[in-house]
């Protein structure tokens, strides 16, 4: 995982297709996903790129970053 400088690595991103159903939150083993203003968000510091959230999302709103 690249780190340092101004470079910001995102393993996964939740898109505007998010239904805010919470399915990804329940499945994330690292508690990296939380409720944002309109959609859920992934904390890049906690996400380890396992992909569990991608599989859990019914709207396919989580994509590689």
pLDDT tens-digit map of 40-64:
999 999 999 999 999 999 999 999 8
- What is the sign of the dihedral through the CA atoms of 16, 21, 22 and 27? negative
pLDDT at position 62: 96
The CA-atom distances, in angstroms, between 33 and each of 4, 5, 6, 7 are 22, 24, 23, 21
pLDDT band at 10; cut points 50, 70, 90: confident
pLDDT at residue 2 tops 80: no
Please give the Cα distance from 46 to 59 (Å, whole number): 23
pLDDT band at 8; cut points 50, 70, 90: low
CB environment 14-27: b (16+ within 10 A), e (fewer): beeebeeeebbbee
pLDDT at residue 4 tops 80: no
């Amino acid at each position: 995982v690249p780190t340092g400088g101004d470079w910001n690595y995102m393993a996964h991103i939740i898109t505007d297709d998010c239904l805010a159903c919470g399915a990804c939150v329940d499945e994330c083993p690292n508690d990296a996903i939380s409720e944002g203003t309109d959609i859920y968000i992934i904390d890049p510091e906690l996400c380890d790129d396992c992909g569990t959230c991608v599989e859990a999302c019914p709207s396919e709103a989580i994509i590689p970053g």
